[in-house]
């Protein structure tokens, strides 16, 4: 898997550059389509047999890298891939921060085949690994994480998406004296940030997309943190889709091993616009400058890569 890391970097860089003309455009379909096409083209150039297990969501009605799609030129590597050509499509087309293009990969059969539905998630960094319990009251988790991180509860930063469904969590967290940091978009960014100490994210919590949960879990496992999750199907159709993907225990908590079951995994993301973990694309004279994060699960290391691409034509 390590031999593929730089090839996956080219995939995310190309998708981010393809999305750049659509920053601030208001056109979500065009932005996602450009990033998706660039991602697919470069994945097909890689020497591997790969299958998309987490692809574009049906809800967006966007051009899809669909679940089950086969990509690559062939070779000895059999790989499961989770992708989001644009994590943060809305901020991209609104010209705002918190947009990346992201890919996670692991050996065949080791990424959860998660349907596009809601998932409850909690994530923490390496210091608090083994200290959380998704089924426990949030107050108990906060006490455990504060102790593990050497902080008082009042010093904790809990990041949660600004949505009405999270009002009870927000109120309870604030009652403890901890700080709630609200964000609008970027589940994968903030879940990953729990494992990057300089980010100041102690806990990531909330209900968001299951595909984003698996992408975040690949980064978290690679960096030695912990995520727990639970699928939240809303109707019989979503229950059927879970069972079709081999998920039968819908009441149980999914551990990090359930989400990503191999250390031989990787996580690569390139910034489209500025966000908490990496900068967005810059333009300088006749070049694009991209900023990316690469994480390899075997090494438990994070690398930051700055690349320069010539601008082939003006936007």
179-183 and 157-161: which strand pairing?
A: parallel
Phi/psi of residue 228, each to 5°?
Answer: -125, 150
Task: Report residue 116's pLDDT band, with 50, 70 and 90 as the boundaries.
Answer: confident
pLDDT tens figures, 44-57: 999 999 999 988 74
CA pair distance 93, 77, nearest whole angstrom: 36
Which whole number is the average pLDDT over 185-210?
Answer: 95
Q: Is residue 131 predicted with pLDDT exceeding 70?
A: yes
Residues 6+ apart with CB under 8 A from 194: 123, 124, 125, 201, 202, 203, 204, 220, 225
Q: Is residue 315 predicted with pLDDT exceeding 70?
A: no
What is the DSSP track for 175-230? Answer: HTTPEEEEESS-HHHHHHHTT-GGG---EEEEEEEHHHHHHHHHHHHHTT-EEEEE
CA pair distance 98, 89, nearest whole angstrom: 9
- Can you give the pLDDT at residue 230? 95
Look up the pTM and report it.
0.92
Q: Is residue 178 predicted with pLDDT exceeding 50?
A: yes
Any idea which residue has 């504060």 for tokens?
146
Pull the structure tokens for residue 253.
């908590």
Which whole number is the average pLDDT over 104-117?
Answer: 90
* Between 314 and 140, residue with greater pLDDT: 140
- Can you give the pLDDT at residue 63? 59
Closest to 53 measured CA to CA, from 116, 118, 122, 99: 116
Question: CA dihedral in degrees (32, 35, 37, 40; nearest 10)?
Answer: -120
- Can you give the pLDDT at residue 266? 94
**Could you give the residue ranges of the DSSP H alpha helices within 87-137?**
89-93
Any idea which residue has 């949960």 for tokens?
213
């Amino acid at each position: 898997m390590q031999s593929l890391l730089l090839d996956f970097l080219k995939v995310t860089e190309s998708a981010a550059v393809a999305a750049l003309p659509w920053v601030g455009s208001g056109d979500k379909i065009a932005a996602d389509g450009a990033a998706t096409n660039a991602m697919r083209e470069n994945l097909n150039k890689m020497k591997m047999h790969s299958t998309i297990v987490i692809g574009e969501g049906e809800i967006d009605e966007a051009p899809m890298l669909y679940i089950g799609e086969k990509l690559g030129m062939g070779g000895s590597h059999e790989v499961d891939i989770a992708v989001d050509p644009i994590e943060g499509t809305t901020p991209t087309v609104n010209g705002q921060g918190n947009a990346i293009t992201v890919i996670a990969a692991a050996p065949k059969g080791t990424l959860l085949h998660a349907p596009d539905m809601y998932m409850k998630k909690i994530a923490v960094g390496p210091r608090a690994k083994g200290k959380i319990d998704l089924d426990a009251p949030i107050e108990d988790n906060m006490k455990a994480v504060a102790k593990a991180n050497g902080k008082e509860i009042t010093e904790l930063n809990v990041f949660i998406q600004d949505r009405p469904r999270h009002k009870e969590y927000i109120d309870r967290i604030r009652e403890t004296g901890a700080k709630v940091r609200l964000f609008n978009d970027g589940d994968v960014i903030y879940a990953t940030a729990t494992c990057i100490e300089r980010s100041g994210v102690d806990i990531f919590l909330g209900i968001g997309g299951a595909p984003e949960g698996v992408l975040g879990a690949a980064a978290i496992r690679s960096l030695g943190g912990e995520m727990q999750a639970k699928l939240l199907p809303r109707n019989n159709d979503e229950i059927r889709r879970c069972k079709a993907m081999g998920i039968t225990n819908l009441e149980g908590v999914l551990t990090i091993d359930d989400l990503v079951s191999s250390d031989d995994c990787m996580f690569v993301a390139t910034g489209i616009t500025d966000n908490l973990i990496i900068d967005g694309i810059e333009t300088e004279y006749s070049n694009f400058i991209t900023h990316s994060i690469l994480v390899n699960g075997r090494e438990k290391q994070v690398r930051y890569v700055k690349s320069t691409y010539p601008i082939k034509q003006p936007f």
